[in-house]
Structure 1
Amino acid sequence: MAQDVPVERRAVTERTFFGHPRALATLFLTEMWERFSFYGMRAILVLYLTAEVADDGLGLGEANANAVYGTYNAMVYLLALPGGWVADRLIGARRSVLWGGVVIAAGHYVMAVPVRWSVFAGMVLIVLGTGLLKPNISTMVGALYDRDSPRRDAGFSIFYMGINLGAFIAPLITGYLGEKINWHLGFAVAAVGMTFGVIQYVLGRRNLGDAGDGLPTRCSAPTAAGR
């Protein structure tokens, strides 16, 4: 199987992103838009669930709405475990991030459909997609650097800035559109954000080198003589 070769080993004349491998920009923007969609939808989810039917909401009680919200968040992080397994054993980190982004975007588009069942179907898709994308994109960031590289921590710090930027901007936009205009328009904006993330990830794949391409190389089990 192919083994990840750190992108930083390329020639020093190659364009960089704040002094880091150019591939970091691709992963930075992908994660930024994924967090934009994630936190943007979350910002209006409970408000939509508890809004009166006359106001185009679902009219759920506060306790039920919070239970739905809590279950959704728990499943997002729980599904990271099988998502990592799928990447390690079946399709690799790079394809996991791509398909995860596509499924997340599809989930947000389903939520944008103005019917009562769409929010629950959309959340299921988002949970599945996030389980594929979230753990594996961080793995790819680490694969850009040699294991002992002094730039590795700085690279992750820049990557986390993308998370914070997306999380900061999203509620301002989706919150306004969802509360002031239409709930499903807010969900649609989250879908568009994830679509941007997928598009730029595909366009920037040439910068990724071998990071996340193929399955991880595993050491064989020790023999009796070597124990």
Structure 2
Amino acid sequence: MSTPRHPKGLYFIFATSTAERFSYYGMRAIFILFLTQALLFDKEHAASIYGSYTGLVYLTPLIGGYIADKYWGIRRSVFWGAMMMAVGQFLMFASASMLEARELSHWLMYGGLTFLILGNGCFKPTVSSLVGQLYEPGDKRL
């Protein structure tokens, strides 16, 4: 007797979620250094930005879950959340690439953080629900 395989979409969702977590925790690990050493913020201002970013990343899934339930649906929320986070990472990269234009670099960083926060708000609360939709009701593997 063979064991049924997991749905193919599960591996894609796993890879996407892993990339999202790597993006979040990887950036958090070096974010204060980037703010103080590259963008030349003082430590207090850098800590304030870091704390605001972290707090909003944990707050926005409440709003994102509501939007997914009432308007967009789960799949659309996951897709647009992932797209917004990708844009946010590209803006953060652009910010780090244009350090000589300090004002522009700061605005790119703030824009990148905004996209990362909003993207996480749409992505995080819905991705686990998407996994649940891959299996039939009553499936023991769920």
TM-score scaled by length of structure 2: 0.84
Judging changes above 3 Å, is the alpha-carbon distance between structure 1 residues 73 and 22 closer, same or farther for their aligned structure 2 residues? same
What is the SS of the residue equivalent to 1:134? helix
Name the residue aligned to 1:104. 85
Letter in 2 for 1:64: H
Name the residue aligned to 1:80. 61
Q: Distance in 1 between matches of 2:136 and 2:113?
A: 37
1:36-95 deviations in whole A, cap 9, x for unaligned? Answer: 2222222221101111xxxxx122222221221111011011100110111111111101
Letter in 2 for 1:145: Y
Letter in 1 for 2:77: S
Shift of 1:108: 1.1
| 2:121 paired with 1:131 | yes
Name the residue aligned to 2:33. 47
Shift of 1:147: 5.0
Q: Distance in 1 between matches of 2:138 and 2:32?
A: 44
Q: Distance in 2 between matches of 1:121 and 1:43?
A: 19
Shift of 1:118: 1.3
- Any runs of at least 4 consecutive aligned residues in structure 1 with deviations exceeding 4 A, and if so which? none
Q: Which consecutive unaligned segments of at least 5 residues does structure 1 have?
A: 1-12, 52-56, 153-227
How many corresponding residue pairs?
131
Q: Distance in 2 between matches of 1:43 and 1:132?
A: 23
What is the SS of the residue equivalent to 2:56? helix
Judging changes above 3 Å, is the alpha-carbon distance between structure 1 residues 78 and 147 closer, same or farther for their aligned structure 2 residues? farther
Which structure has more RCO (C-alpha within 8 Å, separation ≥ 6)?
1
Q: Which of 117, 125, 131 is the aligned partner of 1:141?
A: 131
| 2:22 paired with 1:32 | no
Shift of 1:149: 3.3
Name the residue aligned to 1:116. 106
Letter in 2 for 1:127: I
Q: Distance in 1 between matches of 2:80 and 2:106?
A: 26
Q: What is the percent sequence identity of the aligned residues?
A: 41
Q: Distance in 2 between matches of 1:63 and 1:20?
A: 48
Larger helix fraction of residues = 2
Q: Which consecutive unaligned segments of at least 5 residues does structure 2 have?
A: 99-104
| 2:56 paired with 1:66 | no
Q: Distance in 2 between matches of 1:60 and 1:109?
A: 21
Q: Distance in 1 between matches of 2:16 and 2:48?
A: 29
| 2:20 paired with 1:20 | no
